[in-house]
Chain A
Amino acid sequence: TQLLEQSPQFLSIQEGENLTVYCNSSSVFSSLQWYRQEPGEGPVLLVTVVTGGEVKKLKRLTFQFGDARKDSSLHITAAQPGDTGLYLCAGAGMKTSYDKVIFGPGTSLSVIP
């Protein structure tokens, strides 16, 4: 059974601080996705990483896929209140492009003005 762990579970920081969220598994994934979810809404896809060691940047957010494609990190620089939300990582299996995606439990981020 493929499982994804995320740390920390909760994070409360001041506006302007930097933070890193981690996503770990013992399984290898064909791709790994990061989503942000706001209360009462569906998750919104932020990025997909595919190649081991890949780094993608989305404004102040930097995503990295581990070399072995088992883990990933999300780094936010100078956090803003608008970054508040639940950050979910999700790994796609190796079988087909439509293999079901496994979601981690999420990191709840609160950025205080």
Chain B
Amino acid sequence: DSGVTQTPKHLITATGQRVTLRCSPRSGDLSVYWYQQSLDQGLQFLIQYYNGEERAKGNILERFSAQQFPDLHSELNLSSLELGDSALYFCASSGSLDFPGVNYGYTFGSGTRLTVV
């Protein structure tokens, strides 16, 4: 158990639908990151939140949105789903401030496998 909890583990839904993926970061971590992993695209950064605020955006579609709540858990909302959105979605957290200016790495959850049919 990495300490990062993602639910659900598997999700099957139809095209055009909306789903919400949930992530609880490791205790004490303030940053949450969302990644999408597909066979042909590798691990793609979607969005980062730090202590409730959006900090960085990657290749996140307009149909996707996210937020981080006061208790630091985060949700990724995917709407108007298309077949191409089928992928593994990972949440990661970090929070080390041991050395300012250095990212010491992430702790990943076990992911949510989304299948759009």
Contact = CB atoms under 8 A, between A and B. Distances in A.
B111 A42 contact: yes
A97 B96 contact: yes
Contacts of B33: 100-101
A96 B101 contact: yes
Q: Is the interface of A mostly helix, strand, loop or mixed?
A: loop
A99 B43 contact: no
A88 B103 contact: no
Nearest to A46: B105
A42 B42 contact: no
B58 interface: yes
Interface stretch (B13-21, B48-56, B70-78, B79-87): B48-56
Given A42-B111, A103-B42, A103-B43, A48 B2 contact: no
Contacts, number: 81
B2 A97 contact: no
Contacts of B61: none
A45 B105 contact: yes
B110 interface: yes
24 contacts: A30-B101, A30-B102, A31-B104, A33-B105, A35-B108, A41-B111, A42-B2, A42-B90, A42-B109, A43-B106, A44-B2, A45-B106, A48-B103, A48-B104, A50-B99, A50-B102, A90-B105, A97-B97, A97-B99, A97-B100, A98-B50, A98-B55, A101-B45, A106-B43
Interface of A: 30-31, 33, 35, 40-45, 48, 50, 88, 90, 92, 94, 96-106
